[in-house]
């Protein structure tokens, strides 16, 4: 029989539920350590992202319009 390789080489099928429960408990502990942003910070950063997204969309739309006009003048003389 060939030796098992990789991440699951020491994992037995009967032990998977126990390992899953251990993993989820560790995730819960780590999630409590996270420094979550306040509601005010979240709103501020969300508005910044929306503003930048709209600005980039307008900029790219304008470039697209200008290039379309230029190409139409060149192609459709």
pLDDT digits (tens, 9 = 90+) for 6-31: 565 666 667 788 889 999 999 999 99
17 in a domain, yes or no?
no
pTM of the model: 0.58
Q: What pLDDT, on the 0 to 100 scale, is given for residue 14?
A: 72
> Tokens 């306040």 map to which residue?
38
Number of domains in the chain: 1
58 falls within a domain: yes
Q: Which carries the bigger pLDDT value, residue 33 or residue 17?
A: 33
Give me the domain span that covers residue 53.
36-77
Q: For residue 37, give the 3-state DSSP assignment.
A: coil
In a domain, 56, yes or no: yes
Does some domain include residue 18?
Answer: no
Residue 12 lies in a domain: no
Residue 45 in domain: yes
Own/partner pairs, 53-56, CB within 8 angstroms, 24+ separation: none
State how far the Cα of 9 lies from the Cα of 18, in Å rounded to an integer.
Answer: 16
Q: Is 27 among the domain residues?
A: no
């Amino acid at each position: 029989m060939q030796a098992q390789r990789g991440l699951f080489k020491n994992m037995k099928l009967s032990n998977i539920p126990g390992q899953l429960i251990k993993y989820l408990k560790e995730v819960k502990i780590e999630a409590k350590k996270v420094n979550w942003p306040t509601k005010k910070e979240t709103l501020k950063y969300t508005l910044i992202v929306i503003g930048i997204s709209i600005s980039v969309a307008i900029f790219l739309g304008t470039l697209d319009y200008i290039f379309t006009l230029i190409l139409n003048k060149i192609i459709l003389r």
